[in-house]
Amino acid sequence: MHLHPQPQPIAASDDEILAALADIETPPLLVAVASLTGDLSILRDDLRPSASQSFDPTAGITPEQADTARRIAADALGRHRDAGNPSVTRPDPPTVRALLDFMAGTSIEDDYAELMTEELAIAGADHRAPDWTISDIGDATFRVAIVGAGMSGIAAAYRLGQAGVDTVILEKNADVGGTWLENRYPGCRVDVPNHFYSYSFAQTSEWPQYFSTQAVLLDYFRACADEFGIRGRVRFETEVLEAAWSDSDQRWEVTVRTADGATELILADALVSAVGQLNQPNLPDIPGRERFEGESFHSARWDASVDLAGKRVAIIGTGASAAQFIPAVAEQAAALTVLQRTPPWLLETPNYHDDLSGGARWLLDHVPEFANWDRVWIFWRSHEVLIPMATVDDAWDSTESVGLMNDLVRQMFTEYYRVQFPDPELFEKVLPRYPPFSKRFVRDNGIWARTFSRSNVTLDVGSIAAITPTGVAMADRTVHEVDVIIYGTGFKASNFLTPMTVRGRGGRDLHETWDGEARAYLGLTIPDFPNLFLMYGPNTNIVINGSIIYFSELEARYIVESARMLLKAGVRSMRVRPEIHDEYNRAVDAANTRMAWGAASVNTWYKNASGRVTQNWPFSLLEFWQRTRHPNPDDYILE
């Protein structure tokens, strides 16, 4: 996969250009073409999307308006062709602002404009790159150890490297990629559009599908690691066993186990945990699980050596991962029994498994920065407009929704179920009875209904009593005799930084400190654990309004700026003040109770064993951007 590919010259005829644009959304199309050609006259007021209808798939644009917009864009591309496909200089800030305002359908706030310009990264601009290097600070030295070479670890290593900071990445696996290396179950793919689920500083127009598969995503992260020179800084097959802060030396002492089984001590001035939240498989506590005599495994540790063809298979769980591999297993197994505790809400996504259309491929080849504009279009349409749909209304009296807007979403989704599941008995089994946004949506292009309509598939929504040596016994005394059990039961998401041991000032153990209640300031820093930074830490999961890569990029910037703050101040350590940490977490906890995922009683990985939401960010994307641009020295004790 190539990053920032060069555009191919346009040679197509007028009719061929217009045909290629037939299924392209017009707001990002018009601004991408205007940016390429420099012709802002095509941004007609009558073709603007409606800012008040961003949740509407059409954004308020009628079919007639869309046809007009595509003709105008095609004409502009034709003129660009006739002029010899000239190079266009990077749009200046006022032009970018005009393009953003048009696409948003309104004059956006200054902070949003700056944020969206960062996300846009037009013409290869990297607005989040550090504006300093360690050489600017005399003969200072600083070494950072990063645990994990997945999506977050790559982002942190890249940004620190840009600042000239010495980094070493400790990765337990034999390659980069993290979750996209480890999760290899059939059907595994991203559920965020690829133009958004990618780094702002590493855009590509070469995604083969709208929602790419695990193999393609792994290829992307490998390409990033190679192009940015990160692979050479990774110590593969190196597992972190313990990280301990030395009060006397003011540095981290990291004990690792290498590929040959030996242990080694690595010293670092700062430690970054980039291990994520979804890396420790959660096997359910079901009596008799160890007694099963057939093959069994968790989806995150998929055993490809097990041939499912002609087998009787049971799948426990119907969450996001299970929803992806259940259809694939149904095509192989002689008989498949799906054991469901809680049905997922399905988000209608007709193109979820689709290759890019020929027209979209043509556009990206010839106007590759359409990918950048499409990224910002996705960002804008999934931003804070969705938050009110998940916000609790105290006067609302229902267990199936938390407010009027939330209930409108529930009704809309329910109608999709009525169409997909005409069988009343199956409809009752699959329809959720909890508020939308309480759990992660599952994208669906109709495959869920097609799978459960198969003659070899059975959906059992009863309670599991035990695993027997030959199958699964239900509470109603039904017994499912099976040859293979696959657990699609998620991860131990609230067990942050496990299984490694982390000790802070005075030997304080992090897991004992948390005692099951993981908290961090901005999800990043913890009192009494100096120079420790978490990526994808507590309460930094995005539920409804963004891509986790967005948060990881902002966290990486915060870490780089923290290194600068330490070096410029001439101090060795920073640790967040307890009162700042505690006040922040009280605000996060209070805000999460005001959201559907905090108010609903449905089981969800968003909550820990005590029922507190340890995962989710309850505020706007803008607020996280504002709070993580630079560390505030007043928030920290610098020594």
Give CATH 3.50.50.60 domain extents, the chain: 141-176+230-280+493-638, 289-345+439-487
Q: Round to whole Å and give the CA distance between 571 and 496.
A: 28
170: confidence class by pLDDT, cuts 50, 70, 90? very high
Q: List alpha helices for 108-199, DSSP H.
A: 110-120, 151-162, 179-182
Q: Round to whole Å and give the CA distance between 425 and 332.
A: 25
Structure tokens at 231: 């692979």
Instruction: Centre a 10 Å sphere on the Cβ of residue 475 and count the other Cβ atoms it contains.
Output: 10
- Polymer length of the chain: 639
Q: Round to whole Å and give the CA distance between 595 and 3.
A: 38
What is the pLDDT at residue 54? Answer: 54
Phi then psi for residue 69, to 5 deg, are -60, -40
**What's the topology of domain 141-176+230-280+493-638?**
FAD/NAD(P)-binding domain (3.50.50)
Residue whose pair of structure tokens reads 């279009």 in the numeric block: 377
Q: Round to whole Å and give the CA distance between 421 and 479.
A: 26
Strand order in the sheet with 295-298: 295-298, 484-487, 312-316, 335-339, 457-460
pLDDT tens for 417-461 read 999 999 999 999 999 999 999 999 999 999 999 999 999 999 999
Do 470 and 293 touch, CB atoms closer than 8 A?
yes
- pTM for this entry: 0.95
Q: Round to whole Å and give the CA distance between 555 and 497.
A: 17
Instruction: Centre a 10 Å sphere on the Cβ of residue 194 and count the other Cβ atoms it contains.
Output: 25
Do 559 and 156 touch, CB atoms closer than 8 A?
yes
What is the pLDDT at residue 535? Answer: 96
What is the pLDDT at residue 261? Answer: 95
What is the pLDDT at residue 323? Answer: 95
pLDDT tens for 499-525 read 899 999 999 999 999 999 999 999 999
545: confidence class by pLDDT, cuts 50, 70, 90? low
5: confidence class by pLDDT, cuts 50, 70, 90? confident
**What's the topology of domain 289-345+439-487?**
FAD/NAD(P)-binding domain (3.50.50)
Give the Cα-Cα-Cα angle 25, 125, 364 (nearest 5 degrees). Answer: 30
What is the pLDDT at residue 492? Answer: 84
384: confidence class by pLDDT, cuts 50, 70, 90? low
Q: Round to whole Å and give the CA distance between 284 and 341.
A: 12
pLDDT tens for 25-66 read 999 999 999 999 999 999 999 999 987 765 677 888 999 999
Q: Round to whole Å and give the CA distance between 18 and 362.
A: 11
Structure tokens at 411: 């009704």
